[in-house]
Amino acid sequence: MKETTTTSNESNPKHHTASGFINQPHGPDQQASSSLGIGFYLRRFKGSFFPPEVPPDHVVPEQEVLRTLDSLKDQNTITWLGQSTFLIRIDGKYIITDPFLTNNAFPFSWGGPERYTPPGMNIKNLPPIDLLVISHDHHDHLDPKTLEALPNKEKITVFVPLGLKDFVEEKGYKTIYELDWHQSVLETSYSRPCPACITQAGG
């Protein structure tokens, strides 16, 4: 049985305005801003042309990752696959967060920032995913190519922030919960609140 509940008593939350949804400020003394500042873009520009040097032993080989996961198959585990992508196993169920498992953070294969190292696991080697959690709509968190490539979409329950349900639905997913800040969902035996994700997201 699935149930959606809200933990907020506000009938009209402050981040819902007449002009639409806005990000909440980070704290009581800060203001929400729509500008990232020039420093943000300069860092991104520099990173595109001068990638950092990656130590030879920095990346765990994928076969070692798969062997380790198999050796712990009866235990709860969390595996970092790169960026904000984590593969979490709880009581035999698999949860994946912000799945970005392709080469570049861009809707197409020919552009956008490239990753410095390959993902910890190839899409074809992922176990069957039960739950998918997306925090916001940046391409290195909401990767269209990864979403399209995941198999068994009709069996995956997806949790997204406001404004992203239609996008994920277009990729073939059937069970989608679109949550506002401080709302929560009870999915069978799993109950987790939707925390406030403070980011310059477009959705």
**Are the CB atoms for 101 and 123 separated by under 8 Å?**
yes
What is the three-class DSSP state of 62?
helix
- Report the amino acid identity of residue 201: A
Q: Answer yes or no: is pLDDT of 153 > 50.
A: yes
pLDDT of residue 154: 94
For the stretch 104-152, pLDDT in tens is 776 666 666 778 888 999 999 999 999 999 998 877 888 899 999 999 9
The percentage of the chain sitting over the pLDDT mark of 70, rounded to a whole number, equals 70
CA angle (97 as vertex; 94, 99 as ends), nearest 5: 105
**Are the CB atoms for 112 and 105 separated by under 8 Å?**
yes
SS3 percent helix, strand, coil of the chain, rounded to 5, is 20, 25, 55
* Whole-angstrom distance, CA of residue 198 vs CA of residue 202: 12
Mean predicted confidence (pLDDT) in 8-23: 68
Tokens describing residue 189: 């035996």
For the stretch 46-63, pLDDT in tens is 766 777 788 888 889 999
Sign of CA dihedral 78, 164, 193, 154: negative
Q: Which H, E and C letters describe 125-171, residue by residue?
A: HCCCCCEEECCCCCCCCCCHHHHHHCCCHHHCEEEEECCCHHHHHHC
**Are the CB atoms for 107 and 131 separated by under 8 Å?**
no
pLDDT of residue 76: 95
Q: Which domains does the chain have, with CATH numbers?
A: 1-8+60-203 (3.60.15.10)
**Measured CA distances, 171 to 145, 151, 163 (Å):** 9, 11, 15
Number of H helices, E strands in the chain: 4, 11
- Strands 77-82, 85-90: pairing kind: antiparallel
* Whole-angstrom distance, CA of residue 57 vs CA of residue 43: 26
**Are the CB atoms for 190 and 92 separated by under 8 Å?**
no
